[in-house]
Amino acid sequence: MKPKGKNELVMHYPSSWWGAGWREALPSGNGKIGAAVYGHVREETVLLTHEDLWSGGLTLELPDISKKLPEARGLLLAGDAVQANRILPNTLEQLGYQPKLSWPLPLCDLKVRMPSQYGFKQYERRLDMETGEVTVTWKDGETRYERSLFVSRPADLIVYEIRAIEGEPLHVEFGMGLHDLKDMRKPTTVLPDHLQTYIDGEYLFFAATNDDKTDFGAVAKVDSKGGTLEEVNGMLRVCGGESLLLTIQLFVKEERSAAWERIRSELKDLNTGYAELLLEHAQEHGRLFHAMRLELEEAEGPRRSNEELLLEAYRGETPLEMMEKMWAYGRYLLISSSREGGHPCHLYGLWCGEYEGMWAFNMVNENLQMIYWQSLSGNMPELLLTVFDYMERLMDDFRTNAYCLYGCRGIYIPAPTAPDSGLLKHRMPHILHWTGGAGWVAQHYYDYYLYTGDEAFLRSRALPFLRETALFYEDFFIVGEDGYYISCPSISPENAPGNYRSGPMDKPLTETTVNATMDFAIAKEVLRHLIDGAQAIGAYSAEIDKWKSMLERIPPYCRNEDGSVKEWMHPYFTDYDHHRHQSHIYPVFPGTEVTRESDPELYEAFMAAAKKRLAIGLGEQTGWSLAHMANHYARMGEGDLALECLELLSRSCVMNNFFTLHNDWRKMGIGLDKDWAPFQIDANMGWSAAVQEMLLFSLPGQLHILPALPARWRKGKAGPMLARGAVEVTVAWNRDTGSVQLELMSRSRSQTVEVVLPQPVQCLNGRELQKQRCLQLCLEAGEAVQLSFAFVGDALEHSCGGGDSQ
């Protein structure tokens, strides 16, 4: 039996941001439709959103500017990066190319008004992450009120029930309208028009017209037990009864009258109650949520509220309970905002309540990848399918980008995209000149195959995408006098070399360079995955030699005088460590090219480069950068440093509903000091990924168990996690007794794996060993293998981070 409240967020006060209450709301979603519950007593607001509702975009024909590329390259190779920086962007500007990225548009606000005669008491709002149900409860006089909402995954419905327990009967008014205009931060924003609302019996109708002249809207139906319904001042009033059920369907890009009639008919035929709809939804949602579990402590009695956990974190040590809940929350948010066939979760998830949300798009130079890092090891591989669906819908645009910008075959994915277009929409040099987007996305494609063993996916989706990416590199890279490739122009997101800055806080003169280390790290990974994958299934045999030849032309990584890996593999450019991005560490994380075992000397050089980034100081960090560093340190076996990053994140960029922001908005000295902190929940997902990275690192045929276990995590249990090779891993540990219990199961095939333990063990399943760290195990398909270890010295003091095997 699970401890009460283990996977619940509990709060004792409502959303409080004036004009931005959605930021502190409690979110529910089914991967397509979102609802954010503010939690107000007298006048409740529920923000409703739909993944297909975007606005503000302007798509133009992308001009062919590839003939200007030789000029830009010539300047770069001659040492004039400043002049080269603007060649391609200025050409687009001169040709009148002024497109706009679209942003997610809030669909509407549901307003719920209830009387408050005596003043509320015993207020609480709660999110059950196992079901997605948001509940607001309070007592007014002798009456206890409950409002509960969830977004049904199987039925595509928002389901809302209001109950009066003892005391007074219900008196509720409902209305729908445009989302709060106080969330319009730019006065130039073009709002939806042709707003229309009306009430017909127990139905509420809402519609408006988007900037593309298509309609969107909603229909709500009220079923009241024992109450009467009437229209009052444009709202539907329900008087009497002990409970009522509100069901809501949304529509996008559909003529309003036809949509209204269709939805009205569907809601009329819906005869299922709240409990039955919740059970149906909870089974599908829960299948994903419970695919992995985490326990860091054995709590007794009720769990603490968010406010109590944050107060303890502010005093210097994040409670284990909060660690667990933040891990679960990142998992919950990804499930709630991802569904096969839809759009990927972006920086706002499904809950963008801003008009023209800042950075509310799919960003592939860090953020989208961080959002989905947790999905594979967290045993939710199907959530990644939405990323692949999205990318494949936009392939023609990505090919157009490659050809028109660089005269190349294959694909070029801009850092920011939105569902309406994959064309380059952002002309700034640091976006236009970054060519690593497709390759970084390709890592997810190949990892999906490695984690699931799905050869049909490898053949039909992963290898074709990798091949398109390699085609771009084949045409884009040029060969230098030494026979090695040159990547030019090149960007190391989002940094600029030290010799192009006059001071640490000055705006860089240019970020456009030659041979960013990340460019070649990604390209090398793409080619190796192509070769390995093609050979595994006997595909593309005529091209494998070509890809091997390309690999040989990628230059070796370069090092600074202090032995650290350089961020730019070209003598014109010097490192600049005062920056939160750590792009040049890609071969160690998120890549797997360099490990302590595969190349100990180069691994130490990458570690040295990563630790030099500590020069940045706390004041330059953000929510996502702390989450990235936590994953980074976990991959490097530095569990305590990884945990420290999460603790700093919990004290700086986490709001009371546990959403993360881009920066510290309270001027507390941790993170960028901005009065308005952009909403950005990638750090929520990065937190979940970092926890999993501390507990398991895998390569095909090799499992590193507890590679970066923090000292504070004395005992716990996690799993089943998913490892490369399609192996499920469940691990329980106890530092005080020096013991680990391990369960492994190969999902689809029999295989031999090497298990790498954090320290030498002297006892396996009661049998004495000679202090071994590495064990060879034969796994039969579908059969669980259980192992029990006792460590040398009877104590698991620290993890060695995948050190040399003994």
Segment 723-757, tens digit of pLDDT:
999 999 999 999 988 899 999 999 989 999 999 99
Q: Are 605 and 564 in contact (CB under 8 A)?
A: yes
Encode pLDDT of 507-526 as tens digits.
557 899 999 999 999 999 99
At position 513, the amino acid (one-letter code) is T
Q: Phi and psi at residue 379, in whole multiples of 5°?
A: 65, 35
Task: Report d(CA 379, CA 293) in Å as an integer.
Answer: 10
Alpha-carbon span 410 to 32, nearest angstrom: 31
- pLDDT at position 28 is 98
Q: Given CA atoms 325, 331, 332, 334 in this order, what sign does their dihedral have?
A: positive
Answering whether pTM is above 0.85, one says yes
Q: Which two tokens stand for residue 311?
A: 């107060």
Element (H, E) at 693: helix 682-695
Cis check for the bond before 720: say yes or no (omega within 30 of 0). Answer: yes
- Radius of gyration, CA atoms only, the chain: 27
Strands lying side by side in the sheet with 8-11: 8-11, 120-128, 133-140, 143-152, 157-165, 243-252, 215-225, 203-209, 193-200
What would the pLDDT profile of 773-783 be if each residue is shown by its tens digit? 899 999 999 99
Alpha carbon distance 409, 476 (integer Å): 9
Q: Are 83 and 188 in contact, with CB atoms under 8 Å apart?
A: no
| C-beta atoms surrounding 182 within 10 Å | 12
pLDDT reading at 798 higher than 80: no
Please give the share of the chain, as a percent, with pLDDT higher than 70: 95
pLDDT band at residue 490 using 50, 70 and 90 as cut-offs: very high
Alpha helices in 570-679 (DSSP H): 600-612, 623-635, 639-652
Domains of the chain and any CATH numbers: 8-52+103-290 (2.70.98.50), 63-96+394-581 (1.50.10.10), 325-389+617-689 (no CATH), 700-794 (2.60.40.1180)
Q: Do the Cβ atoms of 112 and 174 come closer than 8 Å?
A: yes
- Nearest of 291, 157, 258 to residue 688 by alpha carbon: 291
Residues 612-650: tens digit of each pLDDT = 887 666 667 888 999 999 999 999 999 999 999 999 999
What would the mean pLDDT of 564-592 be, rounded to a whole number? Answer: 93
Q: Collapse the DSSP code of 426 into the 3-class scheme (helix H, G, I; strand E, B; otherwise coil) and give the result.
A: coil
Strand 702-705 relative to strand 751-764, pairing: parallel
Give alpha helix (H) positions in 506-594: 517-537, 544-552
Which tens digit of pLDDT belongs to each residue from 16-64?
877 788 999 999 999 999 999 999 999 999 999 999 999 999 999 999 9
Q: Which residue has the tokens 């909603």?
A: 218
For residue 147, the cross-strand partners are: 136, 162
**Would you tell me the crossing angle of helices 274-289 and 320-336 to the nearest 10 degrees?**
110
Residue 281 has pLDDT above 70, yes or no: yes
Strands, E, within 318-425: which ranges? 362-363, 416-417
Exposed / middle / buried, residue 627 (Cβ in 10 Å: 0-12, 13-18, 19+): buried
Residue 359 burial (CB < 10 Å; 0-12/13-18/19+)? middle
Return mean pLDDT, the chain.
Answer: 93
- What is the four-CA torsion angle of 603, 607, 609, 613, rounded to 10 degrees? 160
In three-state secondary structure terms, 761 is: strand
Residue 696 has pLDDT above 70, yes or no: yes
For 190-202, what is each residue's pLDDT tens digit? Answer: 899 999 999 999 9
| Interval 361-407: pLDDT, tens | 899 999 999 999 999 999 999 999 999 999 999 999 999 999 999 99
Please state whether the peptide bond connecting residue 489 to the residue before it is cis, i.e. omega within 30 degrees of 0.
Answer: yes
Nearest CA to 476 out of 530, 509, 439 is that of: 439
Note whether 447 and 724 are within 8 A (CB).
yes
Phi, psi dihedrals of residue 9, rounded to the nearest 5° = -100, 125
Q: Give Cβ neighbours of residue 18 (< 8 Å, ≥ 6 apart).
A: 182
Q: Distance between CA 572 and CA 769 in Å, rounded?
A: 55
Contact 667/673 with Cβ under 8 angstroms?
Answer: yes
Half-sphere exposure in the Cβ direction for 767 (13 Å, CA): 5
Question: According to the model, what pLDDT value does residue 614 have?
Answer: 72
Residue owning tokens 């009241």: 224
β-strand partners of 222: 246
Alpha-carbon distances, residue 148 vs 35, 69, 121, 134, 171 (angstroms): 12, 58, 18, 6, 16
Alpha-carbon distance 360 to 55, whole Å?
11
pLDDT at 299 (0 to 100) = 64
CB 35 within 8 A of CB 108: no
The enclosing H or E element of 467 equals helix 463-476
The CA distance from 571 to 516, in Å, is: 11
CA–CA distance, 621 with 681 (Å, rounded to integer): 15
CB 300 within 8 A of CB 252: no
Which single residue is written with the structure tokens 């039996």?
1
pLDDT band at 794 (very low <50, low <70, confident <90, very high): very low
Whether the pLDDT of residue 1 is over 80: the answer is no
